[in-house]
Structure formats: C-alpha cells, structure tokens
C-alpha cells in the first residue's frame, strides 16, 4: 500500500517504470498535504498511471473504530485489515498536538507492569499502518499534529526498519513535515538497535524506558534487562550522546514499594551521573489485570527532590489519560476481552 513507501522508494518505483522521479513528490503532496483518499482526485497525473497505482499500491488507512474523548486527550481504537486492533492517543499540550502511536500488535518484551505486553507479539505494523494512525487522528480533530511519540503498543526497536521508514515519511518536507526534533522513539533498551539508530545520526529524540536503577530490580520487572543489562545499556547511551550530541530521556515509572524508595533515587542519580540526559518520572497508570500500584504523590515528590538535589534534570510527567484508560494497551484489552 502507498503509505508504506518513503518518497525515495516511490521515486525509485517511478524510475523503474521509466516515469519521472517527481511523480513521487506529486503523490506525496496529494496524500499528505491535500490528504486525498482516492487516486481519482490526483488530477495532475495520467489516468493510466493512476490505475496502475490503484492496483499496485492501494490507498488504505487503518480503520477508526472508536474515540474516547476527554478534556485534552483523545484515545483512538483502530482496526487493521486482519481484524486486529491497535490504539493511538492524542494529547493536547500548550506547545501543540502530540500523538502517541503503536508500532506492533502485541509485544514480546514482557515488562511486568505493562498491559500491552500481556499479549505476545502477533506481528509488526507496517510503516503505512503507523503513518495512517497519524492521518486518521488529524482528520478527526481537523488540526495539524505537531509532535509524535512512538510509545504506544509495541517495542519500536523490535520493528526497527518500519519504524525508521515511518519517521522518514512523516519527517519528509513533502510528507507531513513533522520536524525530527518533534519525533521521539521510546525503547526498553535493545542495544544493537540503539547503535544502528545512533549511526543514522538523525535529530530524532531517543527515550529509554529505564524504570530501575540496578540490574537485580530491572531484570525482575523488565526481562529484556537479562539480554541487555544496565551496564552495557548505559555504556551504549553514553556513546550515543557523544556521537549525536543529543540529550537522551530516561523514563522512570514509579511503582509503589518496588522502585520508588529513597535508596533507588540515590542509586539512579549515581547511575546517570555525567550523562547529558533528563529523567521523566511517570506516575504509574494502574490497570485491572496487573497488581502493581502507583506511588503516592508524597513519595513521587520525595523521589523528585532527591534527584534534583543530585543535580539530575528531572520532570514529573503531566498526567493525561488515567480517566479514559489511556495506559498503554488498556483500550485494546477492553475491546478484545469483551
């Protein structure tokens, strides 16, 4: 389908057919700027070409099933061609509209606190299935999306190629023209892919789901840590920062009596010492199926203060979706368990 192709791939498609390279740009404009949904509307391209395109690269978007709306957050449920469901969340910030997209159906990372991971990976999403989540949400709100975070269902670096293609498509000036610095990939820490990503030297933001300051605890709540332990992960991140000159974000969910004690905050500060980074503390979104609880605000503030005192750049994530089951994977679970 057409939304799977970067502009460069589409240029090659036309060149292989002895057509003009600039067709790709024409089509990108129709799809991403005028946002048409049929080839017929592309009036500056020959009928024959359009017919071929229709057969070889159909225009297909993920299908919008339902929207839950709250003051500054919308939660979207989409159905895919094979009947599977995925979700995306729109958050309205003072700086713009930000969307959180899914990258896989299910997830194999097995993080103990995460709703999405309760279902094993069924398959990767294609770049076009990720791109059209953005298009559908833009159409729903009739406003431009300015920021994208890849933090929905799935592990983006377990679907590396499609996720990078997705980034290239939305970043293209003739595509959705979303600036690299407005795109964030969040990973649980798949080291070889972090290395590959840093070699691309893009300006895209990298966020690491850390959630624990030592191997023992991290392996307990995030099994991926057994394959890629903290020491190696931190070493890789240091290389990334050195190479790209970009600041990384560490996400840290606060789980009551698990990783939220004073000693954890001190250990975390020590672990991150000297790294150009900032820490985003995330109040845990409780879900019915998982026993972890959210730390209380007092504990969260105490954790925050310790990091501050140790000169760590730290923020507490603004809360959006707790009322409308916006914890990663909750909406899909509700739908499929019905």
CB of residue 213 to ligand SAH, shortest distance in Å: 15
Catalytic residue among 100, 107, 277, 328: 328
* Choices 163-171, 256-264, 277-285, 298-306; region in contact with ligand SAH by CB under 6 A: 277-285
Binding mask 146-175 for ligand SAH (x = CB under 6 A): -----x---x--------------------
Torsion of CA 91, 128, 112, 254, to 10 degrees: -20
**Residues 132 to 151 in contact with ligand SAH, rule: CB under 6 A:** 151
Terminal Cα-to-Cα distance of the chain (whole angstroms): 31
CB of residue 135 to ligand SAH, shortest distance in Å: 21
Instruction: Answer whether 70's CB lies under 8 Å from 321's CB.
Output: yes
Nearest residue to 249 via CA among 175, 299, 313, 335 = 313
Asked if residue 113 binds ligand SAH (CB under 6 A), the reply is yes
Out of 198, 244, 249, 287, the residue judged to bind ligand SAH by CB under 6 A: 287
Supply 334's token pair. Answer: 């509700």
* Choices 68-76, 87-95, 112-120, 266-274; region in contact with ligand SAH by CB under 6 A: 112-120
Out of 6, 98, 136, 186, the residue judged to bind ligand SAH by CB under 6 A: 186
Nearest residue to 253 via CA among 168, 151, 161 = 151
CB of residue 204 to ligand SAH, shortest distance in Å: 14
CB-wise, 188 or 279, nearer to ligand SAH? 188
**Residues 200 to 259 in contact with ligand SAH, rule: CB under 6 A:** 209, 251, 253
Is 167 designated active site? no
CB of residue 71 to ligand SAH, shortest distance in Å: 19
Measured CA to CA, the distance from residue 46 to residue 24 in angstroms comes to 13
CB-wise, 287 or 333, nearer to ligand SAH? 287
CB of residue 239 to ligand SAH, shortest distance in Å: 19
Asked if residue 279 binds ligand SAH (CB under 6 A), the reply is no
CB-wise, 206 or 269, nearer to ligand SAH? 206
CB-wise, 179 or 283, nearer to ligand SAH? 283
**Residues 297 to 336 in contact with ligand SAH, rule: CB under 6 A:** 327-328
Is 87 designated active site? yes
Asked if residue 284 binds ligand SAH (CB under 6 A), the reply is yes
Q: How many residues does the chain have?
A: 338
CB-wise, 259 or 285, nearer to ligand SAH? 285
Known catalytic residues are 87, 328
* Footprint on this chain of ligand SAH (rule: CB under 6 A): 109, 111, 113-115, 151, 155, 186-188, 209, 251, 253, 282, 284-285, 287, 327-328
């Amino acid at each position: 389908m057409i939304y799977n192709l970067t502009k460069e791939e589409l240029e090659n498609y036309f060149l292989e057919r002895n057509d003009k390279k600039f067709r790709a740009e024409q089509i990108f404009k129709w799809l991403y700027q005028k946002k048409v949904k049929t080839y017929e509307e592309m009036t500056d391209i020959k009928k024959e070409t359009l017919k071929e395109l229709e057969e070889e690269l159909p225009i297909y978007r993920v299908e919008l099933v339902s929207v839950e709306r709250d003051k500054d957050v919308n939660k979207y449920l989409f159905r895919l061609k094979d009947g599977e469901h995925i979700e995306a969340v729109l958050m309205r910030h003072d700086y713009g509209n930000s969307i959180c997209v899914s990258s896989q159906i299910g997830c194999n990372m097995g993080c103990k606190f995460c709703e999405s991971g309760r279902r094993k990976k069924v398959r990767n999403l294609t770049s076009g299935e990720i791109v059209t989540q953005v298009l559908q949400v833009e159409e729903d709100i009739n406003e431009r999306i300015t920021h994208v975070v890849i933090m929905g269902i799935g592990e983006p670096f377990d679907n590396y190629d499609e996720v990078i293609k997705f980034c290239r498509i939305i970043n293209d000036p003739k595509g959705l023209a979303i600036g690299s610095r407005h795109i964030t990939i969040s990973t649980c820490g798949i080291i070889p892919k972090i290395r590959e990503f840093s070699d691309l030297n893009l300006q895209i933001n990298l966020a690491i789901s850390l959630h624990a300051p030592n191997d023992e605890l991290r392996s307990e709540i995030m099994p991926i840590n057994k394959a890629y332990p903290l020491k190696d992960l931190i070493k890789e991140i240091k290389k990334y920062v050195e190479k790209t000159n970009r600041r990384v974000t560490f996400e840290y969910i606060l789980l009551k009596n698990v990783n939220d004690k004073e000693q954890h905050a001190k250990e975390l500060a020590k672990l991150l010492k000297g790294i150009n980074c900032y820490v985003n503390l995330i109040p845990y979104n409780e879900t019915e199926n998982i026993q972890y609880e959210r730390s209380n605000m007092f504990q969260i503030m105490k954790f925050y203060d310790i990091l501050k005192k140790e000169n760590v750049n730290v923020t507490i994530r603004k809360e959006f979706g707790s009322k409308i089951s916006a914890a990663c994977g909750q909406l899909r679970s509700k739908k499929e368990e019905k």
